[in-house]
Amino acid sequence: MSAGAKWSVLLVCLAVPIALSLTSPLLQWRDMIYIISALAGVIAMSSILLQAVAMTGLLPLDQARARRVHRFGGMSLCALVVVHVGGLWLTSPPDVIDALTFKSPTPFAPWGVVAMWAVLGSALIAVLRSRTLLRWRAWRRAHLVFASVIVVGTIVHAVLILGTMEPVSKYGLSVLVFAAFALAVRRSLCRHGV
């Protein structure tokens, strides 16, 4: 497959769930803050796919560029999580408090909260990597644990929500995120070991 075709396929995989979410009837009567917050969640899931694919070696990127794409995806993910949770806070603070304190009756809430904390934890160790006493191998293990929690938590969170994501594209994106993550982990373990 040519480089252009690979990028085109990735772009379609990233854009289709977002585009279909924009057509959701559940957004018709919502205010702009809620719409932005909901879409930030969908885009965040797409950014996880971008991060994982960048580390698989499937894209025509050298190692340095792949790391930059991965880092960009991580920074985007952090910002999108803040917009997602912040927007939900502005539209319904009691629901967000219930979710953050694990008192929400909705089954998707705890998965989203755990994934959110893993995103923040991963970002924190990434920012502090050069300032910590963690050796590279220990840092990599910690990053992998956080990434695993992010991927599983996000997928379960998305699958359990009957929300703005169109069902077929939601399940398709979930499968792609998991497959790309598994491939990236396999490649990393083959290259560096545990």
Residue whose pair of structure tokens reads 């398709």 in the numeric block: 172
The residue among 29 and 112 whose pLDDT is bigger is 112
How much is the pTM?
0.92
For range 146-159, the mean pLDDT: 97
Longest dimension (CA), the chain: 51
What is the predicted pLDDT for the residue at 11?
A: 95
Q: Does residue 170 register a pLDDT over 90?
A: yes
- Closest C-alpha among 56, 49, 51 to residue 14: 49
Distance separating alpha carbons of residues 106 and 160, to the nearest angstrom: 9
What is the predicted pLDDT for the residue at 130?
A: 67
What is the predicted pLDDT for the residue at 59?
A: 87
Distance separating alpha carbons of residues 53 and 12, to the nearest angstrom: 13
44-93 confidence digits (pLDDT tens): 999 999 999 999 888 888 889 998 999 999 999 999 999 999 999 999 99
Q: Does residue 145 register a pLDDT over 90?
A: yes
Contact 73, 67 (CB under 8 A): no
Q: Does residue 132 register a pLDDT over 70?
A: no
CA distances from 162 to 25, 64, 180 (A): 12, 39, 24
Return the CATH number of 3-192, one of 1.10.3720.10, 1.20.120.1770, 3.30.530.20, 1.20.1250.20.
1.20.120.1770
Give the alpha-carbon dihedral of 18, 188, 132, 128, to 10 degrees.
-20
10-23 confidence digits (pLDDT tens): 999 999 999 999 99
Which are the contacts of 29, defined by CB distance < 8 A and separation ≥ 6? none
For range 152-167, the mean pLDDT: 95
Distance separating alpha carbons of residues 53 and 45, to the nearest angstrom: 13
Task: Find the helix packing angle between 136-160 and 167-192, rounded to 10°.
Answer: 170
Distance separating alpha carbons of residues 45 and 150, to the nearest angstrom: 10
Distance separating alpha carbons of residues 10 and 23, to the nearest angstrom: 21
State the average pLDDT for the chain.
92
Contact 20, 169 (CB under 8 A): yes
